[in-house]
Amino acid sequence: MNFTRLWNSIAVLVFLVALANGFGQVHAQERNSSLRLFELHKQIINHKQNFSVDPNRFDNNFKIFNGLVHELGQLKEYMHSFALELQDQIQRGDALDGIQLDNISKVLENFVNYTIAIGHYTQVYAPGKNKQIEELFNTLDNKKDLKDMVWLTGHLAIFDFVYQAHSDFYSIGILRRVLKDIILTDSRITKRVQDLADVLQKTMSMTNRMTLELAVKQFVKKQSILDNDHKDDQEITSIIKETINLPSTKEMVAGRSIVFNDHHAIDNFIVGTNNVMNILSGYFGNAAGAIRWRSGRLYNDPAKHKLIESRMRPLDIISERTPFALTDFFIPGNFGHIALWLGSEEQLKEFGLWEHPLIVPHHDAIRNGIRILEAVRPRTRLASLEDFLNIDELAVMRQENLFENKVLVDQILNRAMPQLGKDYDFNFDVTTVSKIVCSELIYHAYAEIKWPTSYIFGRATISPDQVAELALWDNSPIAMSTYVLGLKNGEMKELNVFDFAKNLGYVVNKELSSEGSPKFDKPYTKCRMVEKFKRVRVGSRRQERVQIKVCETAYKHYVYGE
C-alpha cells in the first residue's frame, strides 16, 4: 500500500472530522470532550508525508513514528476518560446522546488511522526471520537498536490501546454492542476494516503475543544499557520510559496472561432477542402503515405547498400528524412522524450550502422537488414535499441562530446525510447506529442537543413528540416557527405556539409568562400513599389502619440544561 496515499487519505478524513467536531452549542463537559478529540484529530496531519525505507532517512522516520506513538497514547487517555463518563451515564440509566455516539465513532476511526500508519513502521523495521529474541537490543549499533525499538514499541502501543479499549468499552455490554454496530456500518471504518485486521492480526495473534512477551523481557533486561547509550537524546529516553510504563508491558513482565473475552454468547442472545423484536415490530409496522382511510388535508394542493416551503429554510425539523393512518394510533402523543428539510435550490444557495460536497450529488433530485430526508419503512430516503404533505397537520421547528455557525451546519449535514439508505429500526433504540427511525434521524443529526428520551423494554427511545416538545422548554435550542392545520373544507389554518403546546399536552404557566414570552408546564399525575382508618365491618367499633393511594395532577416546568 502506498504510504503517501495512506497519509493523504488520513488527512482528508481528519479534515472532515475537524469540520464535523466544530464548536457546536453543547454542554460545557461535552464541549471540552469534543475539543480534546478535535485536537487529537488535528495532530495526525502535522506529520510529513515522506516515509521512506532508505536507511539514511531513518532519523526522520523515527521522529514521525515517535510522534504517532505519543499521539496514540493521547488518544488512549482521552478514550479512557471518555469511557468512564459513558459508564457513569449508563449506570444512572441515561441514554447515550448523539454527540457521544459520534465521538465513539471518531475514536474508533482515529484508532484505525493510527494503527495502520504505525503498522507500516513495525513491518519495515521488523527483525529478520532468523534473528533470535536474545539478539534484540544486543548490538553496539545504536541505529539497529532503535530499529528494534520501533518494531517493539509500535506493536506494544497498538496492543496497549486494544488492552485499554477492551477494559473500557468491550467489557461493558451496551458500549461493546455500539462498537460492533459502528464497525459494521460506519463507511469511514468499514472500508478500512481489512487493513486494520491485517495489522491487528500481526499484533494480537497468540503467536505474536508470545513473541512480544519475550521481546519485552529482553527489552527490560537491556533497559539500563539503552538508557546509557541514549542519555543525551530526550526523544529516545522518553519513548523508552513510555514503553516500560505501558500497562500491558507491566503485565507481560510480571508473567500474567492477558485474556480477551469476546462475549459472543451474551451478544448473540441479545442480538437474537432484538432481531425477534425487530421482525415482529416490522410485520406490525408494515401492515399498519399500509392502512389509511383517506388522503391528508394538506395533500395535492400546490398553493399550500408553495406557501409552506416559503416558510422553511435548510435543516428545519418538520413534524406531521396523520390521524387517518393506523400507525398514528400506536405512536404516543400528537405527532406521528418527523423529518429534516434539506431545502430548495434557491434556499440552499441563499444559505451557502448548494455546493456542499454532501448536497452536490443530489442536485438533480433537489431540482425535481426531492428535498426531505426522512427515515421511513423500509429505509431512510429522500422524498418530495408533495408526498410528505399527505397529512393533516405540520409543525416546523428550527435552531434560530444555526447559520451563524458554519461549522455546526457542516456538522449536522455530515451526520444527517450518511443516514441515507439505512434500514428502519423497528427496535426504536437510539443507541443503534446501523438502523434508525424518524426521530432518531434528528437525534443523530442534531447531536449537540440534549434531547429528552424514555426507556421502553430496556431500550432508550425518542418519539416525534419528544423532539417537538423541546421547543416548549425554557432556554431551548429550538423553537417552533410554523404550525398549520388542514381543514375539512380545504382551507389551511395557521396555528400558534399555544395550539402547539396544547396538542403536545402542555399548559400555560401564567406566573412565569409575560407578554410575548409564554412559558409552559407539563401536567403529570403525582401519587402518594396515605394512612386511613376504616371499620373492620359494618356496625363494628373496631378500626384497622389501611394504606390508600391518593393521586393528583402536578405540573413540571422544564428548563433545558437542568
28-61: burial string, b at 16+ Cβ within 10 Å, e else: eebeebbebbbebbebbeebeeebeeeeeebeeb
Q: Domain coordinates of the chain in residue numbers?
A: 51-262, 288-505, 510-562
Query: For residue 28, is pLDDT > 50?
Result: no
Question: Which CATH number is correct for 288-505, 3.60.21, 3.40.1710, 3.40.50, 3.90.1720?
Answer: 3.90.1720
Q: How confident is the model at residue 40 (pLDDT cuts 50, 70, 90)?
A: low
Distance CA 559, CA 562 (A): 6
Lowest mean pLDDT among 21-30, 320-329, 540-549: 21-30
Predicted confidence (pLDDT) per residue in 498-541, tens digit:
999 999 999 999 999 999 899 999 998 888 888 777 766 666 66
Are 392 and 322 a contacting pair, CB within 8 Å? Answer: yes
Higher pLDDT, 481 or 251: 481
Q: How confident is the model at residue 27 (pLDDT cuts 50, 70, 90)?
A: very low
Query: For residue 327, is pLDDT > 60?
Result: no
Mean pLDDT of 284-309: 73
Q: Residue 197, CB half-sphere, CA atoms under 13 Å: how many?
A: 7
Lowest mean pLDDT among 124-128, 308-312, 434-438, 507-511: 124-128
Are 125 and 153 a contacting pair, CB within 8 Å? Answer: no
Distance CA 202, CA 322 (A): 56
Distance CA 321, CA 401 (A): 27
Distance CA 325, CA 308 (A): 22
Mean pLDDT of 553-561: 93
CA-to-CA separations, 482 to 311, 318, 399, 469, 517, in angstroms, rounded: 7, 9, 13, 14, 17
Query: For residue 321, is pLDDT > 60?
Result: yes
Q: Where are the alpha helices (DSSP H) in 44-165?
A: 58-91, 98-124, 142-165
Query: For residue 272, is pLDDT > 60?
Result: no
Q: What is the distance of C-alpha 319 from the center of its chain? A: 23
Most confident of 174-178, 233-237, 317-321: 317-321
SS3 state at 23: coil
CA-to-CA separations, 459 to 80, 277, 290, 366, in angstroms, rounded: 25, 12, 26, 36
Give the per-residue pLDDT at 275. Answer: 44
Question: Of 470, 476, 481, nearest to 504 (Cα)?
Answer: 470
Q: What is the distance of C-alpha 300 from the center of its chain? A: 38
Are 543 and 433 a contacting pair, CB within 8 Å? Answer: no
Distance CA 180, CA 315 (A): 30
Distance CA 13, CA 11 (A): 5
Query: For residue 413, is pLDDT > 90?
Result: yes
Backbone conformation region of residue 477, classed left if phi is above 0, alpha if psi is from -120 to 50, else beta: alpha
Q: What is the pairing mode between strands 423-424 and 435-436?
A: parallel
The set of cell numbers assigned to 38 is 478535535
Count other Cβ atoms within 10 Å, centred on residue 107. 24
Q: Residue 363, CB half-sphere, CA atoms under 13 Å: how many?
A: 8
Predicted confidence (pLDDT) per residue in 214-223, tens digit:
877 877 777 7
Distance CA 446, CA 449 (A): 6
Instruction: Provide the percentage of residues in the chain whose pLDDT is more than 90.
Output: 32
The set of cell numbers assigned to 81 is 476518560
- 223-226 contacts: CB < 8 A, separation 24 or more? 225/137, 226/137, 226/145, 226/149
Mean pLDDT of 419-423: 90
Lowest mean pLDDT among 236-245, 292-301, 356-365: 236-245
Query: For residue 56, is pLDDT > 80?
Result: no
Mean pLDDT of 477-498: 95
Count other Cβ atoms within 10 Å, centred on residue 364. 8
Give the per-residue pLDDT at 32. Answer: 56
The set of cell numbers assigned to 29 is 463537559
Residue 378 preceded by cis peptide, ω within 30: yes
DSSP bridge pairs for 393: 321, 485
Query: For residue 266, is pLDDT > 60?
Result: no
Mean pLDDT of 347-352: 97
The set of cell numbers assigned to 64 is 514521525
Contacts of 396 (CB under 8 A, 6+ apart): 311, 312, 316, 317, 318, 319, 341, 480, 481, 482, 483
Most confident of 104-118, 183-197, 371-385: 371-385
Predicted confidence (pLDDT) per residue in 108-140, tens digit:
878 888 888 888 888 888 887 667 777 777 665
Query: For residue 491, is pLDDT > 60?
Result: yes
180-210: burial string, b at 16+ Cβ within 10 Å, e else: ebbbebbebbeebeebbeebbebbbeeebbe
Question: Of 285, 380, 298, nearest to 326 (Cα)?
Answer: 285
Higher pLDDT, 252 or 29: 252
Mean pLDDT of 486-493: 92
Burial of residue 132 (number of CB atoms within 10 Å: 0-12, 13-18, 19+)? exposed
Instruction: Indicate the average pLDDT of the chain.
Output: 78
Give the per-residue pLDDT at 482. Answer: 97
